[in-house]
Chain A
Amino acid sequence: MTKLENYTKYVMAILTGLIVAALYTPIFLTIFYSFYKTRKGKVDWTSFSYEPYTKLIFEKQILESLMNSIYVGVVTVICSVVIGFYFANYYHTSKSKMKEFLQFIIFLPFLLPPIITGLSLLIFFREINLPRSLNTVVIGHTIFVLAIVFKIILNKLETLKPSLMESAYDLGASKFQAFWYVLLPNIKLSLIIAGLLAFTISLDETLITLFLIGNDTTWPIKLWAKMRVGFSKQVNASVTLILILTSFLVLLIASIISRSEKKITY
């Protein structure tokens, strides 16, 4: 290794450190402000308290928006995994030329700016007289995450040998049996990863939701509304709790992926 290369290596290491720090500063500040008070721009170091967390129970609006977000997330996961599996399986088994076209369409909402997906669904729902509600948000989120779910499941299906399903059929399994006892156990992990990822994305989706939400609020929309008046400590506390939840979900996904990579797949 030359001296120059060594030098650039250290510069890049420092840059990496700085960028990690920059990405986490906003997050740490939020956690910090949920515990400490500030007065005239100065931190009051004696003001540490858990109180905002216990007070959170009385914040009906925040809790309601959290529950709405979880409802939207769960339904989105169910819809997107079922539809995503269906299309991935079709794409994997079909020889039709239309499948490329279908894949392109599925990827569109993911590739286009979210504002376009949001407003096109808004206009569509108005034209078919579907009032905006949490369920329209679910449709928006499902369409948005479908591409990712589809891709994860498809990647897994492509690692399976065709002989797997063929032998199941040869041994006399019906279509359903082959799916339930052979295919499903083999792709189970990819379905879980896809579902967790869909949930994590849905929990924080803001740009599409802003168009599709009616009178209800999901959690990011509540934050958006609260932002104009400034955040109370309870809001910061709720943010901290959600941050813990999302980091847990991402770590869970990562550990499942790394564990499933070590396993031998057939």
Chain B
Amino acid sequence: MWNLIPVLEQYLKMRQLVNYFRTSIWTLIRFVLVISLILIPLGSFLSYSFFTVDGTDIIHEFSLFNYQEFLTGEIYIKTFIRTILLALTVMFICILLGYPVAYFLARYAGKYKYSILLMLIIPLFMSYIIKIYMMRSILGFSGLINKVLKMLGVIEKPLEFFLWNQNAVIITLVVILLPLIIIPTFTSLEKIPKNIIEASFDLGCKPFQAFRYVIFPIGLPGLIVGSIFVFILALGDFVTPQLVGGTSGFTYGKIIYSNFGMAFNWPFGAALASILLIVSVIIILFTNRLTEKSKT
């Protein structure tokens, strides 16, 4: 009978070993999945940025040629800065238009707030390409805007500055990305209990003060998250500038994309994208800290 105990111990040890083995296999699967599908592709694209191209062959040798090209070819830095400014403009217009809407929905829309919010969310999932295509016909020379302005007698000749330039890119991106700023801002504004606002009034706040010191800080994290989404998506977009931007409206994303298409210079495209990646990661980490701070 007592002989069984060591056997049992042995058995338990085996079980432990099997269990240990099993969990480590699952851990392995987890890491293999994430690493092979996300990290290795990112790594391979970063390493491509150090390769060079010879005709249609990619030379797998380390070189800083692409980065030198970026720094010396003035056009790339210029376009990059211009694209950042463009994305910032889009972001600020989205904030200017989106914040009042989110504020209105959260505070005054009452029982209709979710229905209106839903109406604002639906276009987000509706065909991206179609929106750009239709914006083209709205902004164009004989488009909707010019027709309406002409009908109202504001202008005599159709205006040309709506299409095939930066303005067109900005307007189209705002129409596409606006819901992205309204949704998170609304969610954080909605959390503010009514009695906090009332308390601030009781304590003698003027409406503007209540907004400045009570409502705005609480709604800030949502606004920041939304703004960053808009900024990053506007920064990397290459379809919108291609379709409405014309020749003067090309952006950094479009240059990257062209290196993977016609120009067939993958390593250089990868180098340009690496710079975009670094900027995006810095912004994401910075925002993360900012929202953590504003939460406390």
Q: Known: A143-B37, A207-B237. Contact between A119 and B134, CB under 8 A?
A: no
Residue B218 at the A interface, CB < 8 A? no
For A90, list chain B residues within 8 Å (CB).
Answer: 30
Q: Which of A4, A105, A113, A254 contacts B38 (CB 8 A)?
A: A105
Q: Is the CB of B130 within 8 A of A223?
A: yes
Contact size class for A? 35 or more
Cβ-based interface call for B82 (8 A)? no
Collect the chain A residues with CB atoms within 8 Å of residue B207's CB.
2, 4-5
Q: Mark B258-296, 1 if CB is under 8 A from A, else 0.
A: 001000001001100100110011001000000000000
Q: Is A137 an interface residue (CB 8 A)?
A: no
Majority DSSP secondary structure for residues of B touching A: helix
Interface centre among A23, A27, A29, A127 (most CB of B within 10 A): A23
CB-contact partner of B108 in A9, A102, A210, A258, under 8 A: A9
B40 within 8 A of A: yes
Secondary structure dominating the interface of A:
helix
Contact, CB under 8 Å: B104 / A115? no
CB within 8 Å for A122 and B260 given contacts A25-B144, A115-B253, A200-B125: yes
Q: What sequence of 0s and 1s flags, for each residue 78-109 of chain A, a beta carbon within 8 Å of any chain B beta carbon?
A: 00000100110010000000000010011011
Alpha-carbon gap, A124 to B232, bound state (A): 23
- Contact (Cβ within 8 A) A206 B101: no
Q: Which of B80-95 contact A (CB under 8 A)?
A: none
Q: Is B142 an interface residue, CB under 8 A from the partner? A: yes
Does A116 contact B134, Cβ atoms closer than 8 Å?
A: no
A124 and B44 contact, Cβ closer than 8 Å, known pairs A15-B101, A113-B233, A116-B280: yes
Given contacts A211-B260, A227-B243, contact A106 B38 (CB under 8 A): yes
Q: Does A75 contact B (CB under 8 A)?
A: no
Number of B interface residues, CB 8 Å? 70
Which of A27, A119, A220, A247 sits near B269, CB closer than 8 Å? A119
Chain A residues near B238 (CB-CB < 8 A)? 115, 207
By a CB distance below 8 angstroms, the chain A residues around B33 are 83
Residues of A within 8 A of B213 (CB): none
Known: A111-B284, A120-B44. A206 touches B260 (CB 8 A): no
A237 to B258, CA, bound (A): 31
The yes or no answer to B169 lying at the interface (CB within 8 A) is no
* Selected contact of A15 from candidates B42, B97, B118, B256, CB within 8 Å: B97
| CA gap between A25 and B232 in the complex, in Å | 25
Q: Is there contact, CB below 8 Å, between B103 and A12? A: yes
A20 touches B137 (CB 8 A): no
Nearest B residue (CB) for A197: B125
Query: How many Å lie between the Cα of A109 and that of B44 in the bound state?
Result: 15
User: Closest CB of chain B to A260's CB: distance in Å?
Assistant: 14
User: Is A264 on the interface with B (CB-CB < 8 A)?
Assistant: no
> Chain B residues near A20 (CB, 8 Å)?
116, 119-120
Residues in A whose Cβ lies below 8 Å from that of B134: 25-27, 29-30
Tell me the B103-141 residues at the A interface (CB within 8 Å). Answer: 103-105, 108-109, 114, 116, 118-123, 125-131, 133-135, 137-138
CB-CB under 8 A from B38, the residues of chain A are: 105-106, 108-109, 143
The reply to whether the CB of B179 lies closer than 8 angstroms to some CB of chain A is yes
B53 at the interface (CB under 8 A from A): no
Question: In the complex, what distance in Å separates the CA atom of A243 from the CA atom of B232?
Answer: 26
| Pair A113/B130 contact, Cβ less than 8 Å | no
Chain A residues 111 to 134 lying within 8 A of chain B, measured CB to CB, are 111-117, 119-124, 127
Q: Which of B103, B116, B138 meets A26, CB within 8 Å?
A: B138
A9 CB → nearest B CB, Å: 5
User: Is B280 a contact of A113 with CB atoms below 8 Å?
Assistant: yes
Give the nearest-CB partner of A122 in chain B. Answer: B260
A167 at the interface (CB under 8 A from B): no
A116-B280, A206-B129 are known; give 16 further A-B pairs, CB within 8 A.
Answer: A5-B207, A16-B116, A20-B120, A25-B144, A29-B144, A41-B142, A102-B30, A109-B38, A111-B232, A113-B280, A115-B256, A117-B41, A119-B260, A124-B44, A231-B133, A247-B122
A-B contact pairs, 17 of them (CB 8 A): A2-B207, A12-B108, A13-B108, A19-B120, A23-B175, A83-B33, A108-B42, A111-B232, A113-B235, A114-B233, A115-B257, A119-B45, A121-B41, A123-B270, A124-B45, A139-B37, A239-B130
Interface residues of B (CB under 8 A from A): 30-31, 33-35, 37-42, 44-45, 48, 97-98, 100-101, 103-105, 108-109, 114, 116, 118-123, 125-131, 133-135, 137-138, 142, 144, 175, 178-179, 207, 232-233, 235-239, 243, 253, 256-257, 260, 266, 269-270, 273, 276-277, 280-281, 284
